[in-house]
Amino acid sequence: MAAWNWRPRRGNATRSRRSAGALVLALIAATMATAVPAAVAAPYDGPVQPAPPFLSSPVIPEFDTFYRPPADAVAAKAPGEIIAARQVNVATYNVLPLNVDAWQVSYRSNDSRDQPIGAVATLLKPRGEVPRGTRNLLSYHMAEDSTGQYCASSYAIQQWAVPGFVTGQAVASIAFLEVQVALQQGWAVVVPDHQGPNAAFAHGPLAGRIALDGIRAAENFEPLGLDGAATQVGMMGYSGGSVPTMWAAEMRKTYAPELNIVGATSGGTDADLGALVDLANNNAASGLVLAGVIGLAHEEPEFAAFLRENTNPLGQFLLAAKDRLCVVYQAASLPFMNLKGLFTTPGDPLLAPAAQTVLDRTRMGKSVPDMPVFLYQANMDWLVPVGPVNTLYGTYCQDPNANITYTRDHASEHLSLEAIALPSATMWMRDRFAGKPTAGGCQLTDVGSMTLNPATWGEWVSIIGGELAAFLNQPIGSR
């Protein structure tokens, strides 16, 4: 194992490059600053609908008016302001009830061009009372990785919802176990449907806004017992969940400067979507990555037109057939596909102006997060390549104020690392909530496997014990 501080070599040329890089980042930050909402979200004092009867099934989002508030009601609110709230029943694998308090909130957010949209998040409060205003909040971002709203996390974790092995949203059921680990710590949790009302899978500028406004909504929801904007907030996400996590981390200081975000953890980070397409071409992940292309088109009308006008008949068929599928069916449909062969444009379709515009707009590294960040990545990741994550780390670390911890795991791959890294990510976040300082600056560590860290072994015992207690309907987070 090797650990080292990433710092550029000194010299006139290096200082010039750093100055130029800092100037570019400053200009980008100044541009992003125009997105700061002027209005402040007010605490919610409206009604909270009671939970449905125990055996009733939730309505699919496409047919649920809670997900589609009137446009004038949305526009009248400030970003993060709650429109409606209701209690819900959540359950492990849609069957085993979880012994926590849970609500859904419908709230105002903004699309990627700062136009008002409705958004939905699930709020969860662990059992056990704490002094008011002392509970921490984790914004947990599931990898929805789908192109239909019925695949959203808010629906997928409800009791008696159509199960994931039927809808294809099996990922949310697994990710909900990670949410339960956060609840075991005594943290409140907000889980936003970060793809928005049109299921814009992989669109970072949209997802970051929805995540930050979801935190605002949670802080303004009285039953959670938080301390408003003074609440300590953490953010966590893996793979598709890295998109809202890192975009929100980059955008916080301009979009939601009042939020007290003390740290963010991100694994399998989708730093550059173009690199994902390159890796997935003729690869096992091609079906899932094509879903990401469709998701971008849901938020980018010009890119949607480009796809319609520049794909062959097979491409046209796949764009239509995969347009509203959940992650498992997306991944299982036509792996090892020649994605670039679906296009009729000469040369590499990623170099077409319409594609370049979207890829540039959704590439991470526009701004340096102003909170500590823990990145972790499998060096042998077959879905999310390590190269762009290395580049993102280097981009951030051009700023002397960056606070980035980066661990590269050389024995894992994409699917295994999410579970393997969970104890490390949980412990790192717990330290941030406890006010423990990081090593500071930029720290890169290469490890054979994150499982070999003995500091995590006791955490595994705690996690497994907590999950077993949850399965037996014991109260979570009472400690």
Render pLDDT for 416-471 as a digit per residue (tens, 0 to 9).
999 999 999 999 999 999 999 999 999 999 999 999 999 999 999 999 999 999 99
Location of structure tokens 């990898």:
143
CATH of region 273-360: 1.10.260.130
Could you tell me which of 204, 48, 250, 212 has the C-alpha nearest to residue 121? 212
Q: What are phi and psi of 462, to 5 degrees?
A: -65, -45
Give the pLDDT confidence score for residue 449 in this predicted structure. Answer: 97
- pLDDT tens sequence across 98-111: 999 999 999 999 99
Q: Chain-wide mean pLDDT for the chain?
A: 92
Render 137-180 in DSSP notation, one character per residue. Answer: EEEEE-----SSGGGSHHHHTBTTSPPHHHHS-HHHHHHHHHHH
Q: Which residue type is seen at 437?
A: P
List the beta bridge partners of residue 406. 375, 444
- pLDDT band for position 130 (cuts 50, 70, 90): confident
Give the pLDDT confidence score for residue 23 in this predicted structure. Answer: 41
Give the pairing of strands 137-141 and 188-192: parallel
Location of structure tokens 């104020």:
401
Its pTM stands at 0.92
Give dist(CA 256, CA 408) in Å, integer: 30
3.10.330.10, 3.40.50.10300, 3.40.50.1820, 3.10.20.30: CATH of 48-272+363-471: 3.40.50.1820
Rounded mean pLDDT of 209-218? 98
Render 322-343 in DSSP notation, one character per residue. Answer: TTT--HHHHHHSS-S--SGGGB
Q: Is the pLDDT of residue 297 over 80?
A: yes
Rounded percentage of the chain residues whose pLDDT exceeds 70: 91
- pLDDT tens sequence across 227-270: 999 999 999 999 999 999 999 999 999 999 999 999 999 999 99
Question: Considering Cα of 393, then 396, then 398, then 402, what sign does the dihedral take?
Answer: negative
Residue spans of the domains in the chain: they are 48-272+363-471, 273-360
- pLDDT tens sequence across 380-402: 999 999 999 999 999 999 999 99
Three-state SS at 94: coil
Residues 104, 122: contact at Cβ < 8 Å?
yes
Residues 207, 246: contact at Cβ < 8 Å?
no
